[in-house]
Amino acid sequence: MTPELYPKNQDKGSFFFTKKSINCRGKILDLSDPAIMGVINITPDSFFSHSRTPSTEAAIARAGQFIDEGAKIIDIGAVSTRPGAKDISYEQEVKRLAPIIKAIREHFPDVIISIDTSCAKTVDKLSSLGIDIINDISGGNADKNMYDAIADNNFPYILMHMQGTPADMQINPNYDNVVHDVIQSIAKRTELLYTKGVNDIIIDPGFGFGKTIDHNYTLLNHLDLFVKLFKLPLLAGFSRKRMLYNVTGRTPEESLPATAALHLMALTKGVNILRVHDVADAFDIVKIFKKLEENNG
């Protein structure tokens, strides 16, 4: 049996109910239209070199650009998660994140800030700096205290699926049935989050995280199933990833057109948030999608 997929206060009798907003500690993130999450990497070794943001000044400038281009969320990451990446200490992660969060919050008080972390101590340490969402690529696997930290600090939580860790996830990804297995994993973890009192959850199938190229495209083709089963906001992150450039024979830097193709397909499958490096281009895709929906039928 699939574990319970709904928080206790949701109407489980309404098949068509899908959560369309997230309460970000008093700020409401409206997802009735698809939202863009702009990525700011403050790591020296992000897989897409143009996304690396080495200074506070550069991070402020990029955040401002993203907001002007239509981003609703700024996602800040201090730990590289590309295949083969090694972890860094909690102290180093906090040292990288703290000044960037403070600066972006000071300059852009209304933007939704997400931090990309799998460490509960980082969540606790930085909770007072103006963070709105926690984006955990490990889905709670990396730190047994993460769900308690989310509940204690009243954060919305992006629950991503990953098989393994960034250091080993692409060595030999294996599933009996990738769609079924990922759904089962997410279902168990959403139920555990609900028991902790966490109701504002966004799910992410984890494209490129412990999946082969074929696994990724199989998941993409079944994204609408995640929407139907979970009735929760759905995030997808394809931007310039290996699943694109290994098929096209290009590089991450040359993969914007392929990224756009998957973004449009994901939106037609019901995705609510696109996590991207190129905000203006993704926002154009959302405009095209909305026009298609407007003229459907």
Q: Can you read off the two tokens belonging to residue 65?
A: 């650009």
Catalytic residue among 19, 211, 241, 242: 241
- DSSP code for 73: E
How far is it, in rounded angstroms, from Cα 236 to Cα 22?
A: 16
The yes-or-no answer on residue 275 being catalytic is yes
Token pair, residue 217, equals: 């495209």
- Kindly name the residue from 25, 275, 287, 290 that is annotated as catalytic: 275
Q: What are the CA-CA distances from residue 290 to residues 237, 246, 286 (Å)?
A: 20, 30, 6
- CA 53 from chain centre, in angstroms, equals 19
C-beta neighbour count of 78 within 10 angstroms: 22
Name the phi and psi angles at 202, rounded to 5: -115, 135
- Tokens 């700096």 correspond to what residue? 129
Tell me the C-alpha distance between 256 and 55, whole Å. Answer: 25
Where is 160: in which H helix or E strand?
strand 157-160
Task: Using alpha carbons only, give the angle 218, 293, 227 rounded to the nearest 5 degrees.
Answer: 40
Tokens read off for 175: 């599933």
Q: Catalytic: 105? A: no
CA distance 218 to 207: 10
CA atoms within 13 A on the CB side of 97: 32
> In 10 A of CB 296, how many CB atoms?
6
SS3 109: coil
Provide the token pair at 192.
Answer: 């555990």
- Active site amino acids: 241, 275
